[in-house]
A and B are shown apart, each in its own frame.
Chain A
């Protein structure tokens, strides 16, 4: 494993241009995959998404090498990790899930990768707060849960135009997303206590996390409320708003600054 990391690290150091543009190439590969999904060609679509995923993972791993050392923290940057997890979810889904579901998930994957590409890639540097393993586990669990929430929203969006009664295939995603997000909150509280001395901080990040937890806590109880399917789907889609605001907070504020 160490050897693999070193090989990737040295390759990246020797080819800084490749390092800079690898997410662009990843986006191109995902876009090609999406094009083949549109053309009903599952096999090439799967191959391109796999190629994109491998490149995305190489990029993430390469972020860990700083100087002559390896750090876990820069490897779990949500901006680049979310597209990778989504692609890993996409890979077995092509050809197995409903076509409209695959299309909406693919759309979400392309948007997430596009944001990762346009974001300023700052060279990662070691930090005090990132030296704890808890910090890396926190971001990893958050990225997994956020991906599951976004995918659930995408699947729910795919069901909206359907006139025939459809099954709520996003329920499992919501449930496991909620499980991961709850674990992530525990890890986050532990990290905050270790580093800052308090498990809960009155900051926008913590309040947003609490807001998202309450929202999805409500969403997983939807099936017992007796709400109609369309309202359930709309609520699941609505959940994307605070999630996007939390993960892409800097990008959203920058964009608002440009627009307003």
Chain B
């Protein structure tokens, strides 16, 4: 009996509304927490969540905040799933429309984003490498071998000052099987090869003209995010099309 009540509770719109509000409040609180501890949280951008949490075992408040946030987001995901399913069934019975299809697709895309975030926090790898022009570097985690061929820094002259405008480079990447690929990453323009993305780090402080910082990242969640983003854009188009059709009628 109790289980039934719990199930029906999660398949109603009202709990979804309150869960969204609760998530909003917790995220806002999180923004204030991060404001005070920005350095600690910055490391989380390059680490998996469970590895990062081990480092901060003496912070019970942080653990409670993260646990409650993830619990609420999980409940929100379940609620969105149930409500969308019921809405879809109801829509099919009463007649499918472009606008309703847009609404369903939007909620499905939201689920993609939620699951994408979960996958993003618990899988993947990231490492920052310092490369020097002409030298070969071995990436221990991925066993990739990188050789920087060219490196060019861009500047803009403004009132006698040289303002950095990014770096472009060409690098040969060799995987453990011997496959070689040449990539051309630039600042704000990553390159992709062998399942990894290669980003030129924007922080160029302390680097010589021959050096470059490169971030190598592999994240399976990216595909889920791309699917979610595409779904949302299509959902908006359908929603706008549906709204316009209703107005015309």
A78 to B239, CA, bound (A): 28
> Taking the complex as formed, is B30 at the interface, i.e. its CB lies under 8 A from any CB of chain A?
yes
Q: Are B217 and A208 in contact (CB under 8 A)?
A: no
Contact-residue bracket for chain A = 35 or more
The verdict on A197 contacting B13 (CB below 8 Å), with A202-B42, A202-B45, A204-B31 known, is no
Residues of B contacting A182 in the complex (Cβ-Cβ under 8 angstroms): 232, 236
* Listed residue (A66, A67, A204) with the most chain B CB atoms within 10 angstroms of its CB: A204
Name B's interface SS.
helix
Per the bound structure, the CA–CA distance linking A184 and B223 in Å amounts to 19
Question: Could you give, for residues 58-77 of chain A, a 1 whenever the CB lies within 8 Å of some chain B CB and a 0 otherwise?
Answer: 00000000110100000000
Task: Specify which chain B residues have a CB less than 8 angstroms from the CB of A186 in the assembled complex.
Answer: 229, 232-233
Distance in angstroms between the alpha carbons of A189 and B113 in the assembled complex:
11
Whether the pair A202, B41 counts as a contact (CB closer than 8 A) is yes
Identify B24's interface contact among A66, A202, A218, CB under 8 A: A218
Residues 166-214 of A contacting B (Cβ, < 8 Å): 179, 182-183, 186, 189-190, 193-205, 207-208, 210-212, 214
Kindly state whether residue B188 has any CB partner on chain A within 8 Å.
yes
The answer to the question of A260 belonging to the interface, with a C-beta cut-off of 8 Å to chain B, is no
Q: Which residues of B contact A (CB under 8 A)?
A: 13-14, 16-18, 20-21, 23-28, 30-32, 34-35, 38, 41-42, 44-46, 117, 120, 126, 156-158, 163-166, 187-190, 197, 199, 202, 215, 217, 222, 225, 229, 232-233, 236, 239
Q: Is the CB of B27 within 8 A of A214?
A: yes
A97 is an interface residue with CB less than 8 A from chain B: no
A11 at the interface (CB under 8 A from B): no
Q: Quick one: given A200-B117, A211-B24, are A179 and B236 in contact (CB under 8 Å)?
A: yes
Q: Output the least CB separation between A219 and chain B (Å).
A: 9
Interchain residue pairs A-B with the least CB separation, the first 3: A211-B27, A218-B20, A214-B24
**Residues on A with beta carbons closer than 8 Å to the beta carbon of B199:** 194-197
Q: Chain A's nearest CB lies how many Å from the CB of B11?
A: 14
A-B contact pairs, 13 of them (CB 8 A): A67-B156, A128-B166, A131-B165, A131-B166, A131-B188, A132-B189, A182-B236, A198-B46, A198-B126, A204-B31, A214-B27, A218-B20, A218-B24
Residue numbers in B under 8 Å from A204 (CB-CB): 31-32, 34-35, 38
Asked if A222 lies at the interface with its beta carbon under 8 angstroms from chain B, I say yes
Complex Cα–Cα for A132 and B187 (A): 10
Residues from chain A with Cβ under 8 Å of B45 in the complex: 196, 198, 201-202
State in angstroms the CA–CA spacing of A69 and B222 once bound together: 35
* Majority DSSP secondary structure for residues of A touching B: helix
Interface residues of A (CB under 8 A from B): 66-67, 69, 125-129, 131-132, 179, 182-183, 186, 189-190, 193-205, 207-208, 210-212, 214-215, 217-218, 221-222, 224-225, 242
Contact (Cβ within 8 A) B23 A194: no
Contact between B20 and A214, CB atoms less than 8 A apart? yes
CA distance A201 to B222 in the complex (A): 14
A194 to chain B, nearest CB (A): 5
Q: Are A215 and B20 in contact (CB under 8 A)?
A: yes
The answer to whether B31 touches A207 (Cβ under 8 A) is yes
Q: Could you tell me if A203 and B13 are in contact, using CB atoms closer than 8 angstroms?
A: no
Bound-complex Cα distance A66 to B159 (A): 10
Q: A202-B42, A202-B44 are in contact. Are A67 and B158 (CB under 8 A)?
A: yes
In the assembled complex, the CB of A73 is this many whole angstroms from the nearest CB of chain B, namely 11
Given contacts A189-B229, A207-B30, list 15 more A-B pairs with CB under 8 A.
A67-B157, A69-B156, A127-B163, A128-B164, A128-B187, A129-B188, A131-B166, A195-B187, A195-B199, A202-B41, A202-B44, A204-B38, A211-B23, A215-B24, A218-B21
Q: Within the assembled complex, what's the spacing in Å between the Cα atoms of A186 and B226?
A: 9
Compute how far the CA of A199 lies from the CA of B112 in the bound complex, rounded to whole angstroms: 14
Contacts of B46 in A (CB 8 A): 198
Query: Which one of A66, A200, A203, A214 lies within 8 Å of B120 (CB-CB)?
Result: A200
Shortest Cβ distance from B18 into A: residue: A218
For B35, list chain A residues within 8 Å (CB).
204
